[in-house]
Chain A
Amino acid sequence: MNALRRNVLKSAAGAGTVAVAVAAGLLTPTFALAGAPRSAFQAKNLGDALKEMGATGAADSKDITIKAPDIAENGAVVPVEVTSGIAGTTSIAIFAEKNASPLIADFDLMNGAQGFVSTRIKMGQTSLVRAVVKAGGKSYTASKEVKVTIGGCGG
């Protein structure tokens, strides 16, 4: 019991820990459902962000489509649309790999929400735009390169 308590205190970020905490009735499920931890948004590189989200071993998938321009003239506004054809998609996360904070947004989908999100992101420089999809407890990923003429981070 003591060890469990310590784990929860140490990192509410680890998805496994949260699952244990839910099972033990320590946290309400509503809290546990709240997507990627804020720590993932603070991560300064893609590897750390994926680790914080528990999506390190994401498998490449052809069922994820990323619609984004090949060349973005203005990095401040890059339209990105992600469609997941994977059955049971529960979340879609969007990364701009070379941004100062790569994780842009994480969308948890439930109660009939389809595997689709569309938004506009900022990109500091030419880089891969990566989507990470979670479905049935597994992670899948796909990426697309977007060339940026004028960066949209900083200024």
Chain B
Amino acid sequence: MAEPMRIRATMAGDVADVKVLMNHIMETGLRKDAKTGQMVPAHYITEVTASVNGTKVLDAGMSGGISKNPYLGFKVKGPKAGDKVVINWVDNKGDKNTAEATIG
């Protein structure tokens, strides 16, 4: 699941508006495969962290109740244009992904 993540970070006054689109199937483990009748095993992101210039600003826990290809928007006061936003996620199978963007 090392597909790219999309991040857009823009300044609106003194607040950075960060929007993240992650690529993930987000399988709850409660769904049956229509063809085989077997339960589709759970596979979803369990934790997302965000940091700005190395300082953690957001730490999120998630369940399979988040939609497929999760979208996350948040706002941080303090950063300046040109600062770096880094997003990390980990899923229930231990897969990880990281992406970074510059606040514009």
Task: Mark A residues whose CB is within 8 Å of B.
Answer: 33-36, 38, 41, 76-79, 81, 96, 99-101, 103-114, 116-122, 152-155
Contacts and interface: CB of A to CB of B under 8 A. Distances in A.
Contact of A110 (B58, B61, B71, B73): B58
Interface residues of B, number: 35
Interface string B28-39: 101110100000
A112 B73 contact: no
B6 interface: no
Q: Is the interface of B mostly helix, strand, loop or mixed?
A: strand
25 contacts: A34-B59, A34-B61, A36-B61, A76-B67, A78-B67, A81-B73, A100-B28, A101-B65, A103-B65, A105-B63, A106-B61, A109-B57, A109-B74, A111-B52, A111-B57, A111-B78, A113-B58, A113-B76, A116-B73, A117-B74, A120-B71, A122-B26, A122-B67, A153-B28, A155-B31
Contact of A153 (B30, B76, B79): B30
A122 B61 contact: no
Interface in B49-90: 52, 55-68, 70-79
